[in-house]
A = this chain, B = another copy of it.
Amino acid sequence: MISKDMLALGTKRSVIREIFEYGNRRKAEIGAENVFDFSLGNPSVPAPKEVTEELMNLITNTPAQKLHAYTSAPGDLGVRTAIADFLNRTYDAKADANKIYMTVGAAASLTISLTAITCEGDEVIVLTPFFPEYSVFIRQAGGTPVTVACPAPDFQPDPVAVAAAITEKTKAIIINSPNNPSGIVFSEASIKELCNVLEDKQKEYGHPIYLIADEPYRELTYDGVEVPYLTKYYNNTIVCYSFSKSLSLPGERIGYILVSSNATDADDVYFAVCGAGRSLGFVCAPSLFQYLLPACLGKTGDVNIYKKNRDTLYDNLTQMGFTLSKPQGAFYLFMKSPMEDTDAFCEMAKKYELLIVPGEDFGVKDYVRISYCVSEDMIARSLPAFKALAEELQLG
């Protein structure tokens, strides 16, 4: 008598969450220091000091009545202006404060954007590997997810495969770079090829195909790699951003949607975003965390800690005989399963108290995700376990 879909979503935990819960039980049994939990994408680096300083400043110096009042539904205009200025200064993004809509993080940015643009029967393309909640969000908006593989081992988008998947019903494509779970950053060449395909298909079908850029990991990059800013490459771009990872504030739920000013009927797309936010019950993004942003734009936690973790794991696991793509962003390593049965491999890893996530939920059966947003110390302690696992598998 209640919604069967919602009951199913609420009852069935994600695989990631299952492993995390197993980890908690196991830690209680054998001690937290003996379990090597690489399952979750929870930032391990603390928020930059500017966050705490500005929170104290706001609470001390702004009257509570103003600080905690409703902002306008799209967000405080001063905050949106600061964000637009930052994006224009940093990426030449041609962002307009009046095309920014503040949200409670990336998931909300996605559900609002998808609800704004999706009509019943529309298809939305997602590129594997992808964050599994994309399918949930697309279905909630009334659309159908269509998956297209990014080929291993470099996991760059495949323009030919994307072109083949686009139909008259294609309303949008979601891309996520730096990528969860692969850690891959899509190159400028890949982006250009992909945008050419989208431009051609827009002409062929005579309607916009939106490029939704899910970018919570934008600032978490290594080796000097650049993440192309997509409004410069494609007009019908909607950027979904979150400060969860850059400012290590995942619990506070603060992010935004930017509709490109050059999008077809950009005003209408933005109004539909406002309508979707209203309809889904968002009212406004948390005011204190909106007001925090101008002082923190461009700041991040210490990204070098993630880089060091990546290097330690990548170098050691490669030497042990595991096969990994070297990621240049986010805080995930995507590793090829050394066994045909990936689930069996993850179970075997558990024997050594190593908790890693099978790739099937991300749409890639023969890989596993290792989240390295963990302490340096845990990584050091985990290496003998990985070594023992490699030896049981007779790798190297």
Residue-by-residue, is A283-308 near B (CB-CB < 8 Å gives 1, otherwise 0)? 11111111000000000000000000
With A47-B68, A286-B104, A286-B251 as given contacts, are A10 and B276 in contact (CB-CB < 8 Å)?
yes
18 A-B pairs with C-beta separation under 8 A: A6-B272, A9-B275, A10-B270, A10-B278, A68-B252, A71-B251, A104-B253, A105-B283, A108-B282, A109-B281, A110-B281, A111-B279, A133-B278, A136-B278, A251-B284, A253-B286, A286-B286, A288-B288
State in angstroms the CA–CA spacing of A351 and B139 once bound together: 50
Q: Of the candidates B63, B70, B248, B279, which one forms a contact with A64 in the assembled complex, judged by CB atoms under 8 Å apart?
A: B248
Mask for A210-240, Cβ within 8 A of B = 1, else 0? 0000000000000000000000000000000
Is A127 in contact with chain B by the CB < 8 A criterion? no
* Bound CA–CA A340/B79 (angstroms): 44
Closest residue of chain B to A111 (Cβ to Cβ) is B281
Contact B107 A281 (CB under 8 A): yes
Q: Are B46 and A65 in contact (CB under 8 A)?
A: yes
A165, CB-defined interface residue at 8 Å:
no
Of B51, B117, B251, the contact of A2 (CB 8 Å cutoff):
B117
Is there contact, CB below 8 Å, between B3 and A116? yes
Say yes or no for A69: interface residue by CB 8 A criterion: yes
Q: A11-B275, A140-B280 are in contact. Are A6 and B251 (CB under 8 A)?
A: no
Residues of B within 8 A of A249 (CB): 68
Instruction: Give the most central of A2, A282, A287: most B CB within 10 Å.
Output: A2
Residues of A within 8 A of B (CB): 1-11, 42-44, 46-47, 51-52, 55-56, 59-60, 63-65, 67-71, 104-105, 107-112, 115-119, 133, 136-137, 139-140, 171, 207-208, 248-253, 265, 268-276, 278-290
Chain B residues with Cβ below 8 Å from A68 are 47, 51, 248-252
Give which listed residue, B69, B133, B248, contacts A65 with CB less than 8 A: B248
Bound-state CA distance A69–B47 (Å) is: 10
Q: Which of B3, B7, B207, B283 contacts A107 (CB 8 A)?
A: B283
Contact A7 to B271, CB < 8 A, known contacts A59-B59, A249-B68, A281-B107: yes
What residue of chain B has the Cβ atom nearest to residue A60's Cβ? B56
Knowing A279-B9, A282-B108, say if A70 contacts B2 (CB, 8 Å).
no
Q: A10-B271, A44-B65 are in contact. Are A119 and B3 (CB under 8 A)?
A: yes
Residues of B within 8 A of A105 (CB): 281, 283
A169 CB, min distance to chain B CBs, angstroms: 11
Task: List, in ascending order, chain B residues with CB within 8 A of A271's CB.
Answer: 7, 10-11
